[in-house]
């Protein structure tokens, strides 16, 4: 039965050679906007008893959906002059200000919407989102949780709650949140990916491997997931499986320098020196094209070590027709290295921005 180590211990155990694991892959992803229904207006549903307020509100929604933010803001303000208790208008104003990156004003509008209707789950979520963008993670966590109290099925709130908890270092809570997010949205590849990262940070390698596999079932082109899965497998002693995964990562992205690098290291540790050298040479080439001279130098040092060991092993190889993997390493000598993970901020989950929602709350 394999032991579970915190990743800081893996870093210490395998610190002889620095491998790229997370820094080249687990970067903070560019925000992705998920479009939610902008409104759920029904002709027979009166948004306000004041006809002028209702008319201005309808104009605001129409202009908002046409991306006429200035016209939408004017219409919503006119609606609020006629009916100050029009919570959805406040929520829309918050959305407008979010799109204009006026976060402080957006927070105020969402708070006003909640004051008008304390059961307005979308406004709670949007407030949490705005606070999250401002960097107030603790407040965002509180508000996301309140949104989920009102509507436990809100996928975006559950996902972003997991992200905020992870960013605060609350790994166990983040894992629970992401697990719930995957239950609410079984097709959310990013939720599985972030779950895998949180699990690996806790040293739960086998569950992390499962989560990475689920990620790849949903997103077969996720080169980051392939590379990280391969490294976890190598750490877990599944070298052959790791090699297959690295090759798949390379097929997805032939310029994946880190995958070539880790493939070379794993092949070397399996005793396939010729293929290991080829993989490391390709890694060096890709890093040179990236102007990553530090990594190029490290690879050249490794290749020199490999060449020296190859010379030491030549007499032994010439005496026997076949050589086991263990014989390819000098007696008492450790393997070149094992994939390791960083314990710094490079372990960043995918941050998928969920666009603020704009639906009419339940009364």
Mean pLDDT of 243-259: 91
- Output the average pLDDT for the chain: 78
Annotation: CATH topology of 13-34+222-317+325-353? 1.25.40
Rounded percentage of the chain residues whose pLDDT exceeds 70: 73
Q: Where are the domains of the chain?
A: 13-34+222-317+325-353, 68-186
Which pLDDT band holds residue 343 (cuts at 50, 70, 90)? very low
Predicted confidence (pLDDT) per residue in 320-337, tens digit: 333 333 333 322 233 445
The pLDDT value given to residue 46: 64
Q: Please provide the DSSP assignment of 295-336 as one string.
A: HHHHHHHHHHHHHHHHHHHHHHHHH-S---TGGGS-TTPPPS
| pLDDT band, very low/low/confident/very high, at 358 (cuts 50, 70, 90) | low
Residue 34's beta-bridge partner residues? 354
CATH of region 68-186: 1.25.40.10
* Structure confidence by residue, pLDDT tens digits, 206-239: 999 999 999 999 999 888 899 899 989 988 889 9
Question: In the Cβ-directed half-sphere of 302, how many Cα atoms lie within 13 Å?
Answer: 29
- Model's pTM, two decimal places? 0.74
Residue 55 has pLDDT above 50, yes or no: yes
Lookup: tokens for 323 = 């050589």
266: pLDDT strictly greater than 70: yes
Q: What is the 8-class DSSP label of residue 22?
A: S
- Average pLDDT over every residue of 101-119: 95
Among 125, 30, 5, 103, residue whose Cα is nearest residue 348: 30
pLDDT (mean) for 63-86: 95
Residue 236, pLDDT score: 84
> Quick one: which of 14, 22, 29, 17 has its CA closest to 343?
22
Radius of gyration of the chain (CA): 27
Say whether 68-186 and 13-34+222-317+325-353 share the same fold.
yes
- In the numeric block, the tokens 């798949």 are attached to 248
CA 205 to each of CA 17, 50, 90, 269: distance values in angstroms, whole numbers, following the listed order: 21, 59, 46, 20
Contacts of 332 (CB under 8 A, 6+ apart): none
């Amino acid at each position: 039965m394999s032991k579970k180590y915190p990743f800081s211990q893996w870093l210490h155990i395998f610190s002889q050679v620095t491998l790229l694991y997370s820094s080249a892959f687990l970067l903070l992803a560019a925000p992705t906007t998920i479009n939610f229904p902008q409104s759920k207006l029904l002709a027979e549903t009166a948004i306000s008893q004041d006809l002028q307020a209702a008319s201005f509100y309808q104009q605001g929604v129409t202009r908002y959906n046409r991306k006429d933010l200035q016209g939408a803001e004017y219409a919503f303000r006119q609606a609020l002059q006629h009916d100050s208790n029009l919570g959805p208008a406040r929520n829309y104003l918050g959305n407008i200000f979010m799109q204009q990156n006026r976060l402080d004003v957006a927070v105020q509008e969402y708070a006003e919407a909640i004051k008008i209707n304390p059961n307005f789950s979308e406004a709670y979520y949007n407030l949490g989102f705005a606070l999250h963008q401002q960097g107030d993670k603790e407040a965002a966590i509180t508000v996301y949780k309140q949104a989920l109290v009102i509507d436990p099925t809100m996928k975006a709130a559950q996902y972003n709650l997991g992200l905020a908890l992870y960013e605060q270092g609350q790994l166990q809570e983040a894992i629970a949140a992401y697990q719930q997010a995957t239950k609410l949205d079984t097709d959310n590849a990013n939720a599985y990916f972030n779950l895998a990262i949180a699990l690996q940070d806790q040293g739960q390698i086998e569950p992390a491997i499962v989560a990475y596999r689920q990620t790849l079932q949903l997103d077969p082109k996720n080169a980051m997931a392939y590379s990280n899965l391969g490294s976890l497998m190598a750490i877990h002693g599944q070298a052959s499986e790791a090699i297959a995964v690295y090759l798949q990562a390379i097929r997805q992205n032939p310029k994946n320098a880190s995958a070539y690098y880790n493939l070379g290291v794993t092949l070397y540790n399996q005793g396939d020196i010729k293929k290991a050298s080829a993989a490391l040479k390709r890694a060096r080439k890709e890093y040179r094209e990236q102007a990553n001279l530090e990594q190029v130098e490290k690879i050249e040092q490794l290749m020199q070590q490999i060449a020296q060991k190859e010379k030491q092993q030549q007499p032994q190889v010439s005496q026997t027709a076949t050589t086991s993997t263990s014989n390819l390493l000098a007696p008492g000598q450790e393997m070149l290295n094992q994939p390791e993970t960083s314990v710094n901020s490079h372990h960043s989950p995918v941050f998928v921005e969920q666009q603020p929602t704009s639906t009419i709350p339940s009364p």
